[in-house]
Amino acid sequence: MSRNVEFAMIEPSHFKQGMRRLAAGVSVITTIDGGQPHGFVATSVTSVAADPTPTLLVCVNRKVSCHDVIDRSGSFCVNLLAEPELELAKAFSSAESRHARFSTHEWRPLSTGAPALVGALASFDCVLTDRVSVHSHSIFLGTVVDIALPKTPLHPLIYADGQFDALRSRCASPAL
């Protein structure tokens, strides 16, 4: 649907300031290519559908070194991080520590071979089913083919206002 209404463009920096107010869960997205594990930190992870086929999406900047690797490998694993994984999140968000990212924690392959973090809140192993290009990013859609749900306390690591954080309290509200 096309509208003939003109709007002023929002400055990207202003948009980013607003989006920093949206708290998001922290995930490490991993993949495997030629036997070599790759990964990065992401906060743009969303469930798309549960039925008939469980599907997730991950938004990835094309400048991220892992972008083309995911496209080439055809799979990725979304590892939801808990509060104790703060240092791991920092390592996966820094290019300087790329060489040691997989050396400090235990990882195991799921169905696609992509590394799943042992002890993550959940690990969703996905086969890449589609890619949509939007400006500087790609939206990777993946069908979930395997999942690891360890029995760990539910204390997610979050990202808000440009820094990693933790939930300090939980509101008493009915489940969604």
pLDDT tens digits, residue range 50-103?
A: 999 999 999 999 999 999 999 999 999 999 999 999 999 999 998 888 888 999
H or E stretch covering 86 = helix 86-92
pLDDT attached to residue 73: 97
The span from the CA of 54 to the CA of 34, in Å, is 27
Number of Cβ within 10 Å of residue 148's Cβ equals: 18
- Evaluate if residue 168 carries a pLDDT over 90: no
- Evaluate if residue 172 carries a pLDDT over 80: no
pLDDT attached to residue 7: 87
Mean pLDDT of 9-22: 89
What separation in angstroms does the CA of 24 have from each of 21, 43, 83, 135, 144? 9, 6, 13, 22, 21
Mean pLDDT of 34-39: 96
Q: How confident is the model at residue 170 (pLDDT cuts 50, 70, 90)?
A: low
Mean pLDDT of 41-54: 96
Per-residue b or e along 26-65, where b marks 16 or more CB atoms closer than 10 Å to that residue's CB: bbbbbbbbeeebbbbbbeebeeeeeeeebbbbbebeeebe
To which residue do tokens 């709007």 refer?
Answer: 7
pLDDT attached to residue 176: 57
Kindly state the tokens that stand for 46: 């969303």
pLDDT attached to residue 174: 58
